[in-house]
Amino acid sequence: MGFKRLDAEDFVVSADAVQSVAWSTGAPTLTEFYTSPVQSAGSSGNYYLSVFQTSSTDSTAAVQFDIAYGNVYGSGSTPFNSGLPKYSPSSTTYGQYRSLILEDENAVFTFGDGTNTLISDDFWVLSVERARYKESLFPGTFNLNLSSSAGLIQLTDNSNDVLTQTFLGSNRVLQIVSGSNGSAYNTTGYVANSGSYGLFLPDIGTIILNPAAISQSIEVDTNKTESLANGTNQETLFTAIKSGSAFTLNAQETITSDYVFVRSRNAEFNYSTNPSFITGSTGEVIYTEFINSPQVYVTTVGMYNDANELVAVAKLSKPLLKDFTKESLIRVKLDF
């Protein structure tokens, strides 16, 4: 065993983006959608509807995303107290996402940018289950089909059509348009007088949908009746998603790698402390021919801190012959 202090130039840091599918099926497109009667009938069902990739009674069932409905006036759901009609699960949901995304308790959601925008008092939200993605959703991979008896629309984000990144509060945001794989089918992909189809926020795994634009396209709209049964609006969107039979989404993360270049020059690491190499009592080389012409095999690189504590170990795929006539350069990759 030998030790050598590494210099600053022996370290190189690299960052690579890695993409993976979001759904637990292992496929990029989710084609089947199921709900749980237990969840929808429970207290959480007043606020959101969980969507699974298979029957909720299946042992492999896992939540893929949740559907919620928000209304700034509390309409479209049953009030907590009949004497206070503006306070209901829908107003709570609206306030939660307003704080999360807009970061202003007095702000309202606006769909679209430029001349064709819509200030909306309600929305649907798809919240991707946190276990389904690592660091963020991958723009350009979002494709969602919504279908009804009036037709079908395919939605995507407009990541390929914009030149600059925009933010809502501290969150990256993209407009949701009629299109595919990050590009609108024509012009902006917006709906006349209704703005965009929604907002795509990749860093928080959230998709906000604009009911007005969707209604204008395929006649699927929210019900803003006061004291409406909780979960009604969530079921409406779920039906459109289930009929569309296609929800594609990938996730991404940045993996940082630290490359360490370990160099052994011709005069270094040519002797071993292995018991087969030296005597146990005096530490002399057992075979005299190895005194001036030793041969050893490098098998492992250990990384130590300043306290002489072993913090990482790298194993070579095969032993590397080393003697006074050879030098070696071993690249160690540390991912974190």
Q: Any idea where the domains of the chain sit in the sequence?
A: 8-15+259-335, 23-248
What is the average pLDDT across 209-219?
A: 98
pTM of the model: 0.80
Task: State yes or no: pLDDT of 290 exceeds 90.
Answer: no
Question: Confidence band (pLDDT; 50, 70, 90) for 72?
Answer: very high
Q: Using CA atoms, how far apart are residues 6 and 266, in angstroms rounded to an integer?
A: 17
User: Using CA atoms, how far apart are residues 236 and 83, in angstroms rounded to an integer?
Assistant: 27
Q: Cβ(211)–Cβ(122) under 8 Å?
A: yes
CA distance 217 to 231: 23
Q: What pLDDT is recorded for position 280? A: 63
- Grade residue 271 by pLDDT with cuts at 50, 70 and 90: confident
pLDDT grade for 291, boundaries at 50, 70 and 90: confident
- pLDDT, residue 254, reads 86
The pLDDT of residue 273 is 66
Give the chain's count of helices (H) and strands (E). 5, 21
- Spell out the residues 6+ positions from residue 107 whose beta carbon is closer than 8 angstroms to its own: 98
From the CB of residue 154, how many other CB atoms can be counted at a distance below 10 Å?
18
Q: Is 308 left (phi over 0), alpha (psi -120 to 50) or beta?
A: left
d(CA 10, CA 7): 5
